[in-house]
């Protein structure tokens, strides 16, 4: 009552004994909401000044060589650094906004039919161009299926997984994007045969800003929010993320969708 939220846990002993533990989590929820709103507002407010700074830097660097008195190389390098750091901040702010939008909107996402095979093809093409010939790509698609969800959210989740595979694996690695039909749902897997991730890190990978190797992640342009975004997108699709990896074993990131998220009539014809 009173708009309060009570969390209750009931343990049943034998036939007629029950242990009920109830906890008022209203205050906790309000605090959490305040935190989310704060992050969303700050990220939003930071966007405009960053766009202005990055616009001026771009113009300056474009014109640096065309001026009558050329800009000294040391100054140009410094401005180049400012530009790349500004871009990093922009990605971070964009990811923070994406994450807080995912956290604050409805628990479940839309149920629009999404052609998952077409989406995989699109992501595969983008990733190949990002890798610029440094990796080999394999695309494996089971029978066509339609997932009920939000195409933009799914695109962002799968792109994050494939971009990570490009970022964190050495040249020559094979990256596979696989869509599997499953009797109880569907799976999209991103598999690489790179260096892998030590098992001890796996359970914490989807936490915000958790990185296995911080300097490598920062250098490669990661914000530390990619897998947190993936996890939230999947949660909103009643799906889950499974991660399998170990040192020297490559990595598999598996998105498992339940049958309730497959469009009726899009199942196998055989």
Q: Which residues form the interface with ligand ADP (CB under 6 A)? A: 160, 164-165, 168-169, 192, 194, 197, 205, 211-213, 217, 222-224, 226-227, 251
Q: How far is the CB of 168 from ligand ADP (least distance, A)?
A: 4
For ligand ADP, the closer CB: 165 or 241: 165
Radius of gyration of the chain (CA): 23
3-state secondary structure 93-138: HHHHHHHHHHHHCCCCCCCEEEEHHHHHHHHHHHHHHHHCCCCEEE
Q: How far is the CB of 266 from ligand ADP (least distance, A)?
A: 30
Q: Count Cα neighbours of 201 within 13 Å in the Cβ-side half-sphere.
A: 15
For ligand ADP, the closer CB: 109 or 223: 223
Which of 204, 27, 33 shows the shortest CA–CA distance to 103? 33
For ligand ADP, the closer CB: 148 or 230: 230
For ligand ADP, the closer CB: 174 or 266: 174
Q: How far is the CB of 94 from ligand ADP (least distance, A)?
A: 12
Q: How far is the CB of 67 from ligand ADP (least distance, A)?
A: 37
Does residue 223 contact residue 91 with C-beta atoms inside 8 Å?
A: yes
For ligand ADP, the closer CB: 135 or 211: 211
Query: Which helix (H) or strand (E) is 33 found in, with range?
Result: helix 26-63
Q: How far is the CB of 18 from ligand ADP (least distance, A)?
A: 41
How far apart are the C-alpha atoms of 270 and 265, rounded to whole Å? Answer: 12
């Amino acid at each position: 009552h009173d708009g309060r939220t009570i969390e209750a846990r009931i343990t049943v002993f034998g036939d007629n004994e029950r242990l009920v533990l109830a906890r008022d989590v209203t205050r906790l929820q309000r605090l959490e909401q305040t935190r989310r709103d704060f992050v969303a507002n700050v990220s939003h407010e930071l966007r405009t000044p960053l766009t202005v700074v990055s616009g001026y830097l771009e113009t300056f660097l474009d014109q640096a060589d065309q001026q009558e008195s050329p800009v000294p190389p040391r100054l140009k390098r410094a401005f180049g650094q400012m530009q790349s750091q500004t871009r990093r901040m922009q990605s971070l702010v964009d990811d923070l906004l994406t994450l807080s939008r995912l956290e604050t909107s409805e628990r479940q996402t839309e149920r629009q039919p999404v052609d998952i095979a077409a989406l995989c093809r699109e992501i595969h093409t983008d990733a190949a161009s990002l890798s610029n010939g440094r990796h080999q790509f394999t695309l494996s698609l089971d029978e066509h299926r339609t997932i009920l969800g939000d195409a933009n959210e799914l695109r962002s989740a799968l792109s994050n997984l494939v971009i990570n595979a490009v970022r964190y694996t050495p040249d020559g690695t094979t990256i596979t994007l696989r869509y599997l039909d499953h009797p109880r749902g569907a799976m999209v897997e991103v598999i690489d045969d790179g260096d892998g991730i030590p098992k001890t890190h796996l359970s914490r990978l989807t936490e915000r800003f958790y990185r296995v190797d911080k300097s490598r992640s920062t250098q490669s342009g990661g914000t530390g929010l990619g897998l947190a975004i993936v996890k939230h997108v999947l949660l909103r699709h009643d799906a889950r993320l499974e991660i399998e990896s170990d040192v020297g074993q490559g990595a598999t990131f598996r998105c498992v969708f339940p049958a309730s998220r497959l469009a009726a009539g899009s199942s196998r014809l055989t």
